[in-house]
A and B are shown apart, each in its own frame.
Chain A
Amino acid sequence: ETGVTQSPTHLIKTRGQQVTLRCSSQSGHNTVSWYQQALGQGPQFIFQYYREEENGRGNFPPRFSGLQFPNYSSELNVNALELDDSALYLCASSLSQTGGRGEAFFGQGTRLTVV
C-alpha cells in the first residue's frame, strides 16, 4: 500500500454535471499531482499543487480545477463534464516541490464514466 487514498473509486456522471474527486496524500508529502488516463493512453498531467498553491498545469481547460488543503489532501473538480472526460484519474503525492526528482506514490485512482 502506498498510503495515498482516493475517493470515490468509481463514479458515473451525466454530461454537463460537475464532479469532485478526492485524494489523501501520503503522510509528510507536501506535493500532489493529478493525472488523467484515458483508455489505451499513458497518464496525462493535469496539474500539481505544492503547499496549497498550483505549481504547474498541463494542457487541460479551466473547467479542470483543484484545491490543496493545509493537511495536503487535495481535490480535483471538473465542471461541465464531457463524454471525453471519462477516464481513470490518478493522484500522486511526493516530497519535492518539482515533483520530478522525488518518488511519487500513486493512489489507486477514481474511474469516472460520463454518460
Chain B
Amino acid sequence: ILNVEQSPQSLHVQEGDSTNFTCSFPSSNFYALHWYRWETAKSPEALFVMTLNGDEKKKGRISATLNTKEGYSYLYIKGSQPEDSATYLCAAGVGAIIFGKGTRLHILP
C-alpha cells in the first residue's frame, strides 16, 4: 500500500513566526507532488505542483521544496498570518494520486 505521510498532524504557531511541515512519499513511480491549502467550508486550493528533484516553488510568503530521491517535500510559511490558518494537504502522483491526511495549522494572535 502506497502511503503519503504528513507531519505534524496539527501545529499551533504564533502570528509572525515562521513554520514548516513535511510530506513524505514513495519515491518509485513518482511523477508529481502537489500542495493544497484547504480552508474550512471551502474547496482545496492548489498551491504548488512540483515534478523535478530539487524544485523550489514560491508564492508570496509560502514556499516548497522537493526531494524525489529521498521522497519528501517541505512547505515553509514565513511570518505566519491569521489567514494562513488552514489544513495543508500534499498529494503525490505515483500512479494514482495519493493524498496525505494533512497538517492542520492554527495561527495564534
Contact = CB atoms under 8 A, between A and B. Distances in A.
B26 interface: no
A4 interface: yes
A100 B97 contact: yes
Contact of A102 (B49, B91, B101, B102): B49
B89 A98 contact: no
Interface magnitude class on chain A? 20 to 34
Contact of B43 (A2, A57, A103): A2
Nearest to B30: A100
Interface residues of B, number: 25
- Classify the secondary structure of B's interface with A: strand
B71 interface: no
Contacts of A101: 31-32, 49, 51, 93
Nearest to B42: A108
Contact of A56 (B6, B31, B95): B95
B28 to A, nearest CB: 14
A66 interface: no
Interface in A66-112: 90, 98-109
Given A43-B99, A106-B44, A98 B34 contact: no
Interface of B: 1, 4, 6, 31-32, 34, 36, 42-46, 49, 51, 89, 91, 93, 95-102
Interface of A: 2, 4, 33, 35, 40-45, 48, 56-59, 90, 98-109
29 contacts: A33-B97, A40-B101, A42-B6, A42-B89, A42-B100, A42-B101, A43-B89, A43-B91, A45-B98, A45-B99, A48-B96, A56-B95, A57-B96, A58-B96, A98-B31, A98-B93, A99-B97, A100-B31, A100-B34, A100-B93, A101-B51, A102-B49, A103-B49, A104-B34, A104-B97, A105-B43, A105-B46, A106-B44, A108-B42
Closest 9 CB pairs of A and B: A100-B93, A42-B99, A42-B101, A100-B32, A106-B43, A103-B46, A43-B99, A106-B44, A45-B96
